[in-house]
Chains A and B, each alone.
Chain A
Amino acid sequence: MSLKENSEAIFSESPGKIALRTLRKDKRSVISLSILGFIIAISLLAPVYAHFIAHTNPFNSSLDATTHVGGKVVPVLEASTTGLGLGVTPIGPTWNPTGYFLGADGQGRDVMARLLYGGRNTLLIGASAGIICIVLALLIGVIAGYRKGWIDSILSRLLDVIWAFPVYLLAISLSVVLLTSGLKLGFIHVGPGSFALPILIIGIVYIPYVARPIRAQVLSLREREFVRAAVGIGAKDSTIIFREILPNIIPSVLVFVPIIIALCMLTESALSFLSIGVQPPQASWGTIINDGLALLYTRPWVGIAPGLFIVLTAASLNLYGDAVRDALDPKTRSRGDA
């Protein structure tokens, strides 16, 4: 009601602008974007924290490092006092940002600094993989749905093959094969330690989940009368795809973006946890959880902290995805407005 009056009183708005306005007013998007913004900001500031606040290098093991606790100098690693007295126990959280805020890991490295660096990697890989996934899926979905015929058959079978494997099984097999040897494809040569490998692997694994619904939508759009009308005025296929089909696909693609990025991030963490994602000495939230596994009983924060960040990031992305979906769907929009 009020929406209609507004749009007539001021000027007419495109469906996209209306959705954007709805999204801005949605509390869920405000909350989730604030959390995401905070996590991204502190992750980007990882080097600042490491160099200027904690004065530590989170990539070198420092077995004989010391820190100050309550004015006293204490070693970061102490000989174990439990069990057989073998190995070392790292220092626990000092809750002091100038050093070992969350304690040290088994190699005497500052967990907080590693957590921030790890966040950079996890977010970078998750977001890049998600975007690669969506771009490729859009390409495949639109071509398959628009051209139909044998091109569609080939692309659809390809998606079926990727789809047929459980995501993690496929990601794990690809990683195991590619990480040991790297990837050589003609001119392209990707070394075993490069982030390009986990990004590609994770991106490819989720393509069918996005490409299939896009293909279905294109198939139905191309039978719509406004697409026939475009054929009728003599438009070329490329014109029809870019000017008639794509503008109607973009909203559903936008809904996929946060959700797929969340999935890619979770997959990256899982692969890194299994030591087949980000390779040491680089960190990611998954590798830190792995580091924390051995310290689970003595120093639980090493595993819990990255776990919390993963949950918080994935939950915020999903919440934002819900808000985007509702803003773009005119049926739920009126409900959110009231």
Chain B
Amino acid sequence: MSDVILSIRGLAKNYELSGALARRKEVVHAVENVNLEIREGETLGIVGESGCGKSTLGRMIVRLEQPTAGEILFEGHDLAKEPKKKLRALRKRFQMIFQDPYAALNPRRQIGQIVEEPLRVHGVGKEERRAIAKDLLKRVGLDEGAYEKYPHEFSGGQRQRVVIARALALNPRLVVADEPVSALDVSIQAQVLNLFKDLQKELNLTYVFIAHDLGVVRHVSDRIAVMYLGKVVELAEADVLYESPAHPYSQALLSANPRMGADDKRERIILKGDIPNPINRPSGCAFNPRCPKAADICRTESPELMTIGTRQVACHFPTL
């Protein structure tokens, strides 16, 4: 088994809503007690419905968000407690790729400047910067001329390639990609996903890959974590999860996904009701109001994430 490069212990993020809209001080439990280990060279997929805390978790891993509690252990540092200045120096080891390539590039700067910026920030000289940036642009499949152009001259797919080039400029070990293809045309998505895979092989990168399209995640992931209302409810090898999901929520997600193809003979399970509000989590298992297997114990006792064989599941009645 490969080495663990980043491990998360008891990670949580609460947002306090105050001000005119919230009557009392309300707390959003965006992420609760997440424990994960990310292994060298793998792609860990994170899936779940909108609002389950995927982005919040991703942003905490690269410390664009300060966790409320927990540890993020990376190369001997706890990123959650690292002071601002030291953190800035560490940032070249882990990078984030954003969902919206239109918002992720400063419209007033040239592509070359954008890709060189991380190098400039970390003190790389002018000539070297330029050479690295040009090489990176070539690697992500853009031509020479891109260097002097502005973001408004590019399509979404090309912009996402620029975002990827910028993230790789500092030669990071870990890249967190938050729905990197969901804003792109379906015809472009496959190209960009293949770019991710090629770069991973060439540069020995480790990915945390967030998505809510299960087809996309399966295509790239080695292991997949399923999140529900801020918690990881199942974590398994990609193939294992897709062949035999153990958690009722994973089963529902997979059966609801029309892109899984004709070989999928499982009965479709329709998720009843809306995603409950992360402000008022249901007691016991958070999934119980929508779960077809819910029993009395599910309404009172919250299931812990338990290791069963090669996978981890948080359910009182997992399918095995």
A interface list, Cβ under 8 A from B: 7-8, 11-16, 224-226, 228-236, 239, 243-244, 247-248
Contacts and interface: CB of A to CB of B under 8 A. Distances in A.
B149 A12 contact: yes
Main SS at interface, chain A: helix
Nearest to A14: B150
A11 B148 contact: yes
A243 B92 contact: no
Interface centre among B96, B106, B150 (most CB of A within 10 A): B106
Contacts of B152: 15
Given A225-B103, A235-B117, A243-B109, 16 more contacts: A7-B153, A12-B150, A12-B153, A13-B150, A14-B110, A229-B104, A233-B117, A233-B121, A234-B90, A234-B91, A234-B121, A235-B88, A236-B88, A247-B108, A247-B109, A248-B106
Nearest to B104: A225
A228 B104 CA distance: 8
Given A14-B108, A243-B117, A247-B109, A231 B64 contact: yes
A66 B92 CA distance: 82
A228 B98 contact: yes
Contacts of B110: 14
A228 B64 contact: yes
A2 B96 CA distance: 37
Contacts of B117: 230, 233, 235, 243
B77 interface: no
B134 interface: no
A224 B98 CA distance: 11
B166 interface: yes
A13 B153 CA distance: 10
Contacts of B122: 233-234
A229 B96 contact: yes
A225 B98 contact: yes
Query: For chain B, which range describes its interface: under 10, 10 to 19, 20 to 34, or 35 or more residues?
Result: 35 or more
Contacts of B100: 225
B254 interface: no
Interface in B44-97: 59, 62, 64, 87-92, 95-96
In the A-B complex, the 9 residue pairs with the closest CB atoms: A234-B91, A233-B118, A247-B108, A234-B88, A225-B103, A225-B104, A12-B149, A225-B98, A226-B106
B107 interface: yes
A224 to B, nearest CB: 5
B105 A226 contact: yes
B64 A232 contact: yes
5 contacts: A14-B150, A15-B150, A233-B121, A233-B166, A234-B87
A15 B108 contact: yes
A224 B110 CA distance: 18
B232 interface: no
Given A12-B153, A229-B98, A234 B166 contact: no
Contacts of B163: 229
A248 B107 contact: yes
B68 to A, nearest CB: 18
Nearest to A330: B152
A233 B95 contact: yes
A248 B91 contact: no
A240 to B, nearest CB: 10
B170 interface: yes
Contacts of A234: 87-92, 118, 121-122
Nearest to A245: B106
A334 to B, nearest CB: 13
Contact of A224 (B95, B103, B149): B103
A16 B64 CA distance: 31
Contacts of B99: 225
B111 to A, nearest CB: 9
A11 B145 CA distance: 10
A14 B152 CA distance: 9
B93 to A, nearest CB: 10
A235 B98 contact: no
Contacts of B149: 12
Nearest to B145: A12
Nearest to B88: A234
A233 B153 contact: no
A34 B121 CA distance: 45
A239 B121 contact: yes
Interface in B94-136: 95-96, 98-100, 103-110, 117-118, 121-122
B181 to A, nearest CB: 15
A15 B153 contact: no
A39 B300 CA distance: 81
A236 B91 CA distance: 12
Contacts of B166: 229, 233
Contacts of B170: 233
Contacts of B62: 232
B23 to A, nearest CB: 22
A12 B121 contact: no
Contacts of A232: 62, 64, 91, 95-96
Contacts of B104: 225-226, 229
Interface in B147-185: 148-150, 152-153, 163, 166, 169-170
A16 B152 CA distance: 12
Contact of B108 (A12, A13, A16, A229): A16
Contacts of A244: 106
